[in-house]
Structure 1
Amino acid sequence: MAHSKRALQAVLLSLSTLVLGACLSSGGDDPTNTAGGGSVINPAESTGRVFLIQPGPNATEEMVKAMVQLKPKDILRFDCGFFDLKTGIQITTTEDVIIEGCGMDETFLSFRESTSQEGFLASNVRGITVRNLTIGDSPGDAFKMKGVNHGTLKKVRAIWSSGRKLPEERPITAANFRDEIKVACTDPARHNPANPNPLETDNTSPDYTVSTASGRYGIYPVESRNILVEETESIGASDAGIYVGQTNIAKIRKSRAAFNVFGFEIENVQDGEYSENLAECNSGGFLVYDLDNLTQYGSRSRVYNNISRNNNTYNFAVPGSIVANVPRGSGLITLAYDKIDIYDNVFENNGTAGIILTSYDLLGENGDRRMDVYSEAVNIFDNTFKNNGNDLPQPDFASIIATQGGQISSAFPLVVGLKNALGGGGYRGAHIVWDGYTDSLNSSCDLPKDRNGNNVAVDADGKPIQGNQNPNPSCRYNKYKFETNGQRKVPAWWFSCINPNNNFGSDSLAFSNFHGTRGLDAVINLNTSDPTANLSL
């Protein structure tokens, strides 16, 4: 069926179907409107007091005095210059306040010697704007919002010194901060310098040196509502540069993330919109997914007009976390997340894949049976793909040793490469990689119960509205995906669409449907009679 871009903009999140072949088109509404029909409302400009903090030895004391006096409509303002602050900014249980500097290139708040984990923390606040400043070298997260309704982060930067706490560290100081905040992306370090592999020598970058000693999150709104992140930047986070999680109605736009493990991480978000962003020189560009055992599960997001390029920095997350499983060279990964439109983006020069559609089936059994472990209703259209999947990472022996063989990030590119090689496509990834896993009807599993023994609520599609407030059921309910005769409900729902109007560069494989580890017995066990060995599209 011919696809119309205008028709695709007629509803918020399109419902579509495809088994990586031909798809039926659907639509999305005007991208200028807020996803899910909600809105992000900025607090009104202040008519209250202004507390001005100036650089110098008394800056921390003056900041603390201002924080405890801050009332609705007040402004906490940092002057231009470099601030050496000994404790973090903490704003709690208030509303309609502004924290600002005189420019993200001119006001630098260093928390290198801070006793607080966060550089900035807002909790239980309704209406807060943080703008026009940079936070550097926070021990933990740089900007954190928790329990915030109507929060805005605009023209702010999170950064850690290049080579944080390593022998080659370049500390950011009052004398050099204006130069050190300008971090280019030309040549990321592809290989872990701790990896005992003499064949991998590309383990330094002229632009920036990543470090596990950097804080986990640069920009970090969580368990919040009506969040806007705009014209921001994050450099060097050891988990995610720009993150939003367990949040309803979130926009991230016109922002840049570089040299983080993940550039942009969207976790258990309902009604999200991510546009006009740049992810470069991270291990992975974008991650849109659901994590288990959290307060809510996500759905309904749009990722459009972004650039995800050269995300080939080796994964430097602390082994054991889920992001430590991400192979470097991933442009975008969606994992166990439903209803996502991915369109008008550019994915280029990502070594493993432009887009990876995967599920928890690949990662092993997920014990949270309240969560659907498959990515479905993923609609991919009007994107441009160039040079993806042509630089698969080798196994990371340092991570394998640290996790006693449990680091999936080492196995994933190997499996993809072997599958493509067996299928005649050579040892490489692709523009789009799909793990090939789907579920079948679990006819014996009934709708889960809440703590009172009643059926949990369901959405318009019949999917349970779940979270860790409900007991973990004994089985994973999925009848809402199927007709009474056991057939999957398509085309409207419960599968995904890769539209042929994507522009796939001929420099790479277009698709790789690798069906997990199935078919590799022929390689692993020398079982040359295995009939499932050739599974690559």
Structure 2
Amino acid sequence: MVRESSWRRWPAVIAVSVGILISGCGEDGDDGARGPAGTAALEQSVTTTSGFAIPGDAVFVAPDAVSGDDITEEMLLALFDVPDDSVVVLPKGRFTVSETITVNSANGLTLTGYGINETLLDFSTADGDDAIRFEGGIDVTIRDLGVYEAKKNGIKTVSANGVHMAYTATVWEGELESDNGAYGLYPLQSQNILVENNYAYGSADAGIYVGQSNNIVVRNNIAKNNVAGIEIENSTMADVYNNLVVGNTGGILAFDLPGLEQAYGGNVRIFNNDVYANNAENVGSGAVGIIPPGTGVLVFAASDVEVYNNDITENETTAISIASYFLSDNDVANYPANYGASMNQGWSPLVKNIYLHDNVISRNGGDPRGALITDIVAGYTSAGNASGMPQTMPAILYGGIGELLSNLDQLSGFNALVGADAANDGVDYDAYDAGDQICANSNINGNPAPDYANVNTGLVYGTTMATASFDGDGNPVPSLLIDQMVNNTYLNCVQNRLPPAVVNFKNNLYGCAGDDLAEPACSL
């Protein structure tokens, strides 16, 4: 079923705010203009542009400030040892902040401005990597403001239980460049995270990133012109839905990487998103540096991921790509030495239990590129692929090498590296069984005829002796098996549906098992 675009269901305030941000304006026109210099905060509107009612007993920071003022000291004073359940209100205008604003162990704090385009904080001359950083804390809200030109990270939380980011913007203005900051919205090692109705632009790593965290809902956001639009990394119980990701290098990512405190993630659902024209050149480094420009959705070394009912359109390399960590490091013999400690904790280079279904896929693969797929690109013409058919780049592309090595019993020695806790969670390197498989079915060819007529599924490596190719020494070599996406053969299986994530914030439940029970996306 072709679904209604999530864009048309978003709150009007976000559509208006993002339109203004994209146009480069810093205020909301007449509605966003300040009164005469020195107007007291209590005389201003007591409701933000998103509809949040500011209580009369709130703490108003620098109420007489005018655009261009440095409000660093006032912010630090207001947020030092802040009382429980405080509402701290930043003024209207664009202000300079000259150092990281760190908030320690806040409980029930709401930090708010007057709107995503009403309160803008310029960190372009600030010391410190982070613009605003929350260390610890319970049920912390940040909303209705924009953070601009952070040195490295926009809004970061670490080790918090209960994080709500709403109607905020993190922006690096101008072109996407390698010296832009890394992360926009950045919850890390936290629990119960709700990220909604935000705008992330210009990050040289990820616009919206949730890492090493659990119980996550990321919904109704716009991520534009970042290397990675939205990334879920080494995290469990995450729902990513009703977002627009456009103009990034890669749209939505699910990663598990070695060497992190939370060794692996799982139960990540990516659904009902608009993933459009993510074709920016890759200026990133580290893990995101592997993303081929033109990638809609990338599942990398992550297992237990469901991708469904998304509109994935005009991504020039591929709509959905699934790859093991062997794409990044193919030196299998040295994995015990290089990653043994991570593997003991349960990290695995493999991808397992990936279910792709009911996605509308159209006009992808027109200009495939990227260093990691050079050999694949060379082989996707009729002369080079094993199918012998002229093709556009496969819309769904599965690496397959990890599964092949497991099925050939070439990774069984890794089982000795798996710790007891991880083994109890089902981590192993045995041949893939039905529950491990990568499955793609019921996806929809949305291409208009006659252009882009072929929408296909591709396997870089066959996953069995019958489908794999080998060189003269018996080593697997890529063969790029290609089949049609509709009624496909290679990934034609079904996995069990994953359960929804739920966020408990201030004793209220959010997500498809909470406040969104009636949301159409949650019934797909």
Q: Same fold (TM over 0.5)?
A: yes
Structure that is richer in helix per residue: 2
Work out which of the residue numbers 426, 433, 444 in structure 2 matches 1:502.
444
Which residue pairs with 1:431 in the alignment? 395
**What do residues 48-71 of structure 1 show as CA deviations (whole Å, max 9, x unaligned)?**
652333434352221121121412
Matched, 1:356 2:321: yes
Separation in 2, partners of 1:420, 1:123: 52
Work out which of the residue numbers 53, 63, 77 in structure 1 matches 2:62.
53
Which residue pairs with 2:44 in the alignment? none
Q: Is the 8 A contact 1:141 1:216 kept in 2?
A: yes
TM superposition shift of 1:511: 1.1
Which residue pairs with 1:386 in the alignment? 362
Matched, 1:329 2:294: yes
Separation in 2, partners of 1:521, 1:415: 17
Which residue pairs with 2:421 in the alignment? 456
For residues 425 and 129 of structure 1, do their structure 2 counterparts lie closer, same or farther at Cα, with a shift above 3 Å needed? farther
Matched, 1:415 2:376: yes
TM superposition shift of 1:116: 2.1
Which residue pairs with 1:99 in the alignment? 111
Q: Is the 8 A contact 1:79 1:102 kept in 2?
A: yes
For residues 534 and 80 of structure 1, do their structure 2 counterparts lie closer, same or farther at Cα, with a shift above 3 Å needed? closer
For residues 93 and 267 of structure 1, do their structure 2 counterparts lie closer, same or farther at Cα, with a shift above 3 Å needed? same
Which residue pairs with 1:21 in the alignment? none
TM superposition shift of 1:330: 0.1
Q: Which amino acid aligns with 1:359?
A: S
**What do residues 63-91 of structure 1 show as CA deviations (whole Å, max 9, x unaligned)?**
12112141211122111111111112211
Higher relative contact order (CA 8 A, sep 6+): 1
Separation in 1, partners of 2:56, 2:356: 46
**What do residues 207-265 of structure 1 show as CA deviations (whole Å, max 9, x unaligned)?**
xx211111000111111110010000110000111100100111100001111001011
Q: Which amino acid aligns with 2:429?
A: N
Which residue pairs with 1:117 in the alignment? 129
Work out which of the residue numbers 351, 357, 371 in structure 2 matches 1:375.
351
**What do residues 416-436 of structure 1 show as CA deviations (whole Å, max 9, x unaligned)?**
441444234447422111112
Separation in 1, partners of 2:360, 2:109: 41
For residues 239 and 95 of structure 1, do their structure 2 counterparts lie closer, same or farther at Cα, with a shift above 3 Å needed? same
The secondary structure found in structure 2 opposite 1:116 is strand
**What do residues 90-146 of structure 1 show as CA deviations (whole Å, max 9, x unaligned)?**
111221101100000111110111112111100111110000000000111001111
Which residue pairs with 1:66 in the alignment? 78
Matched residue pairs, number?
A: 399
Work out which of the residue numbers 274, 278, 283 in structure 2 matches 1:316.
283
Q: Which amino acid aligns with 1:87?
A: E
Matches within 5 A, 1:220-231: 220-231=186-197
Matched, 1:141 2:153: yes
Separation in 2, partners of 1:110, 1:503: 44
Work out which of the residue numbers 214, 218, 221 in structure 2 matches 1:252.
218
For residues 58 and 457 of structure 1, do their structure 2 counterparts lie closer, same or farther at Cα, with a shift above 3 Å needed? closer
Normalization by structure 1: what TM-score?
0.69
Separation in 1, partners of 2:145, 2:156: 15
TM superposition shift of 1:382: 1.0
Q: Is the 8 A contact 1:420 1:512 kept in 2?
A: no
For residues 58 and 378 of structure 1, do their structure 2 counterparts lie closer, same or farther at Cα, with a shift above 3 Å needed? closer
Q: Which amino acid aligns with 2:373?
A: F
Q: Which amino acid aligns with 1:53?
A: A
Which residue pairs with 2:251 in the alignment? 285
For residues 229 and 533 of structure 1, do their structure 2 counterparts lie closer, same or farther at Cα, with a shift above 3 Å needed? closer
The secondary structure found in structure 1 opposite 2:99 is coil
Q: Which amino acid aligns with 2:303?
A: D
Separation in 2, partners of 1:501, 1:67: 49
Question: Over the residues paired in the alignment, what is the CA RMSD in angstroms?
Answer: 2.8
TM superposition shift of 1:458: 4.3
**What do residues 409-450 of structure 1 show as CA deviations (whole Å, max 9, x unaligned)?**
413144244144423444742211111220234555556576
Separation in 1, partners of 2:54, 2:236: 28
Separation in 2, partners of 1:387, 1:425: 19
Separation in 1, partners of 2:314, 2:187: 29
Q: Which amino acid aligns with 1:134?
A: G
TM superposition shift of 1:389: 0.9
Percent of pairs with identical residues: 26
Q: Any unmatched runs of 5+ in structure 2? A: 4-52, 484-524
Which residue pairs with 1:87 in the alignment? 99
For residues 347 and 215 of structure 1, do their structure 2 counterparts lie closer, same or farther at Cα, with a shift above 3 Å needed? same
Matches within 5 A, 1:266-285: 266-285=232-251
Matched, 1:238 2:204: yes
Separation in 1, partners of 2:102, 2:478: 57
Separation in 2, partners of 1:326, 1:436: 17
Q: Is the 8 A contact 1:232 1:255 kept in 2?
A: yes
Q: Is the 8 A contact 1:436 1:513 kept in 2?
A: yes
Work out which of the residue numbers 429, 434, 444 in structure 2 matches 1:478.
429
Matches within 5 A, 1:34-53: 49-53=58-62
Q: Which amino acid aligns with 1:372?
A: S
Separation in 1, partners of 2:269, 2:219: 12
Separation in 1, partners of 2:283, 2:413: 43
Which residue pairs with 1:344 in the alignment? 309
Q: Is the 8 A contact 1:252 1:273 kept in 2?
A: yes
Report the more deviating stretch, 61-70 or 308-317.
Answer: 61-70
